[in-house]
Amino acid sequence: MSGAGSPSTSSSAGTPLDGSGLKVTIVAGRWHDEITNGLLAGAHRVLAEANVAVTEIRVPGSFELPVVSRAALEAGADAVVALGVIIRGGTPHFEYVSDAATSGLTQVSVLTGKPVGFGVLTLDDEAQGLDRAGLPGSREDKGAEAAEAAVATALALRALRSGHPLAP
């Protein structure tokens, strides 16, 4: 499990981020409904607690996340939370889609200067996804983590761009 060594989050410490005034778009693939719906629930919960304006856009799969994320950011979103599920199969397709989604979302963030919370699960099997989806019995909530990362980064960028020093 990759959660070892992860930082404590604002929501886990009981103090949600204040993202008042931020606009965040969730862009989520349609594959693997149960896992994706868990990721969406966690992201929506964190964004509601952070008082951000939220829109949600669904796309066919993880390959389409970068282009729609960029369009959302260029249309005025302050951040995107990208959610997808890619499960390894018996062909190289997994590697191609995983690389395209990861590289594409990185490029989107760098090119737009806006954060993309990365909630794309790359899995060997469905059980790993269920364990990371924030569902009852899950050990992790990657949708919530991606949303919190997007909001925290948007707030850091807002502070930097307005000339305010960042807290240590």
- Three-class secondary structure of residue 4 per DSSP: coil
Residue 87 belongs to domain spanning:
23-159
Options 32, 44, 93, 164, the catalytic residue: 93
Q: Is 93 a catalytic residue?
A: yes
- Three-class secondary structure of residue 92 per DSSP: coil
Does the pLDDT of residue 59 top 80, yes or no?
Answer: yes
Q: Is residue 10 part of a domain?
A: no
Tell me how far apart the alpha carbons of residues 80 and 119 are, in angstroms, rounded to a whole number: 10
Which stretch of 51-55, 88-92, 138-142 has the lowest confidence by average pLDDT? 88-92
pLDDT given at position 14: 62
Cβ atoms 19, 149 nearer than 8 A:
no
Tell me how far apart the alpha carbons of residues 168 and 33 are, in angstroms, rounded to a whole number: 39
Tell me how far apart the alpha carbons of residues 144 and 48 are, in angstroms, rounded to a whole number: 11
More confident residue, 68 or 1: 68
Check which CATH number belongs to the domain holding 132 and give it.
3.40.50.960
Based on the structure, what is the number of domains in the chain? 1
Tell me how far apart the alpha carbons of residues 130 and 25 are, in angstroms, rounded to a whole number: 23
Q: How confident is the model at residue 112 (pLDDT cuts 50, 70, 90)?
A: very high
In this prediction the pTM is 0.90
Q: Is residue 142 part of a domain?
A: yes
Q: How confident is the model at residue 89 (pLDDT cuts 50, 70, 90)?
A: confident
pLDDT given at position 168: 47
Does the pLDDT of residue 1 top 70, yes or no?
Answer: no
